Structure 1
Amino acid sequence: MKKSLIALAVLAASGAAMAQSSVSLFGIIDAGVGYVDNATAANGNKYGVGTSGNQTSRIGFRGTEDLGGGLKAGFWLEGEVFADGGNPDGLNFKRRSTVGLEGNFGEVRLGRDLTTGYSKTSSYDLFSQTGIGQFSAWRNWGGVVATGDENGIRSNNMISYFTPNFGGVKAAVSYGFDEQATGKAGRYIGGNVSYDNGPLSVAVSYDRLDFVGGDRDAATLGASYNFGVAKLNGIVQQQKYSANAGGEAKFNNYMLGVSAPVGGAGEVKLQYARYDQKTFNGNADQLSLGYVHNLSKRTAVYGTVAYLKNKDGSALGLQSKGINTVAAANQKQTGVQVGIRHSF
């Protein structure tokens, strides 16, 4: 009898512990057909099936455990998948692989993650940083070699702190260790402060990435205001590359966009971007028009048209996964994508 009571007590305790924990599988599959003219240095065209035209295709696992007293432990493992041909490198968790603690003090997170110089201010891009319509400010402008994360979007070996919400005000800081015996290539430090209250959202971020031979500093300001019938978004950014041997290069990037709901299930988006490459006085202008129609809470179809004009020696290309583009100097590009996105 005593053994039965003990067994029942153990089962009850384990059941309570399991009830306080949760693990979930999640993901997005996004595939479409695209076409981009003048997509090669020889002015050739490219077309075919691509991936992540509206949102990045991914699969992941996340979970939390209630430790009591308002304290929670959590993990997040997320990897990219390519709907047009699988992932040739195999499934990995390079999008995010973190573990952390969260409570009244905020959250402490360790592992590979989005940098705090990118995560909030990039969210004002109406095209969600993917597909041919995206605002392409976050790229390896200086052509440097550090750790494979030269665009400043993610960092390895990072520890981050996120404050609680103080009446709409939040802040975050992160530090990525270079973990090298000599030198500091790959070291990252950054942070952001944001304010979200009603229709207004604004954020500012700053970060630095060290690489072999120098460093890169980036400052970004993003904001949006929802008027109800339409939402206005904007981003202003400057990236500056400094070489240890002297000399620097600057890149100023600007974005302004407007989105509006259509018929309760759709959204139309119009966005203009300018990439001012001060280092050689070249510049490029990009105009993107998109429409997303939600068939359900999980499934949507979309279409995007983008036009990019290079001037004064600029040679930027529209960014699209599955249909890679490289423009010749002073070349123009026009791209079209239509696809379907499903989340689970």
Structure 2
Amino acid sequence: MKKSLIALAVLASSGAAMAQSSVTLFGIVDTGIGYVNKANAAGDSKYGLYTSGNYTSRIGFRGVEDLGGGLKAGFWLEGELFADDGNAAGFNFRRRSTVSLSGGFGEVRLGRDLTPGYTKTSSYDLFNQTGIGQFGGWSNWYGTAGDANGIRSSNMISYYTPNMGGFNGAIGYGFDEQTSGHAGRYMGGYVAYDNGPLSVAVSYDDRDTVAANRDRNALTIGASYNLNVVKLNGIVQQTRDKIDGAPNQKVNAYMLGASAPVGAGEVKIQYALYDQKAFDDGKAHQLSLGYVYNLSKRTAVYGNVSYLKNKDGSNLGLASKNLNTEGPGAGKAQTGVQVGVRHSF
């Protein structure tokens, strides 16, 4: 009898401990069929199966433990999925791999993650920073290596504030881990105000030595206003490269979009202008139209159409996983179409 009581006590205590922690498996599988004309300067077209046309496909694990007194510990491991070929190049957790402590003071994260400067202002892109319709301001403009686009940083410590009357913000520092120089070092953050229908944010990122003798910074302003029948979004951004012994190079990017509920889904239209001062003042205009129809809370079908017109020295191409293009050639236009299915779990 005594042993039974002891066993019940142990089971009860372990159950209470387990109730204070949890681990969640989550993900998105987004795949479809796409077509892009003039995928290169020769005028060839490209079509086939692609991934991530509406949201980036991913799989991840996240967990949290209640430490008491309002303090929580957590982890987040997330990697990208390529359903078209089953991740032929291998799977990793380079989308996010962090451990964190959070409470009334906010949250502190350690590891590889989205940069604070990107995570907020990129949210104003109606095409969720994926697929052919996405706003291309966070491009790796000059073909440099690593995380030069400022989207993610390794070796980073970041802090996210709690919501304070609608105001929130974050700051991050990515260590270069070099014995000399600062190649790969990141610093950045954002401040934002979210209240009712209005949302506005300002972010700044600085990444040292994204290429030989080249440092990059970006200033971004994003905003949205929900009128109920339609929601308006906008982004203004300047990316500047500081080059030793040479003039600075910069790209100014602008975006204006609108979305509205239609039936069981949402229609969206977005215009972007990329003013590339570094390429003989080349400019590119992009007009994107999309519709997402929700079959359930977790499953949707969608279609995207995007037209990009280069002018002067500009040679940008529409972005799409597995349908990436070389660009149609300086001053030429390109059109893309996507139809796909997205399922989340």
TM norm structure 2:
0.97
Q: Secondary structure at the match of 2:118?
A: coil
Question: Contact 1:142–1:241 at 8 Å: present in 2 too?
Answer: no
Displacement, 1:4? 4.2
Q: Which amino acid aligns with 2:91?
A: L
Say yes or no: does 1:337 pair with 2:338: yes
**Cα pair 1:271 1:287 within 8 Å, conserved:** yes
Residue aligning to 2:203: 205
Q: Please name the residue that 1:275 is paired with.
A: 274
Q: Could you tell me which residue of structure 2 aligns to residue 171 of structure 1? A: 169
Distance 2:323 2:142 in 1: 23
Match in the other structure for 1:10: 10
> Partner of 2:258: helix, strand, or coil?
strand
Cross-structure match for 1:184: 182
The question of 1:73 aligning with 2:73 is answered yes
Matched-pair identity in %: 72
The count of corresponding residues between Structure 1 and Structure 2 is 341
- Which residue pairs with 1:306 in the alignment? 306
Shift of 1:3: 4.5
Shift in Å, 1:324: 1.4
Residue 266 of structure 1 contacts residue 291 of structure 1 at CA under 8 Å; is this kept in 2? yes
Query: Cα offset for 1:278?
Result: 1.0
Identify unmatched segments of 5+ residues in structure 1. Answer: none
SS at match of 1:120: helix
Q: Distance in 1 between matches of 2:214 and 2:149?
A: 15
Give 1:90 shift: 1.4
Q: How far, CA to CA, are the matches of 1:12 and 1:266 in structure 2? A: 46
- Code of the residue aligned with 2:179 in structure 1: it is A
The amino acid across from 2:277 in the alignment is K
Does the CA contact (< 8 Å) of 1:111 and 1:159 recur in 2? yes
Amino acid at match of 1:180: Q
The secondary structure found in structure 1 opposite 2:89 is coil
Q: Does 1:39 align with 2:43?
A: no
- Trace 1:285-296 onto structure 2 (pairs within 5 A): 285-296=285-296
- Displacement of 1:10 in angstroms is 2.4
Question: What is the deviation of 1:118?
Answer: 0.5
1:193 — aligned with what?
191
> CA separation in 2, counterparts of 1:189 and 1:247?
23
User: TM-score, normalising length from structure 1?
Assistant: 0.97
Q: 2:339 corresponds to which letter in structure 1?
A: V
Q: How does 1:60-139 map to 2 (within 5 A)?
A: 60-139=60-139
Distance 1:262 1:250 in 2: 39
Match of residue 219 from structure 1: 219
How far apart in 2 are the matches of 1:49 and 1:275? 28
Q: Displacement, 1:139?
A: 1.1
Counterpart amino acid of 1:87?
A: N
Question: Over aligned residues, Cα RMSD in angstroms?
Answer: 1.0
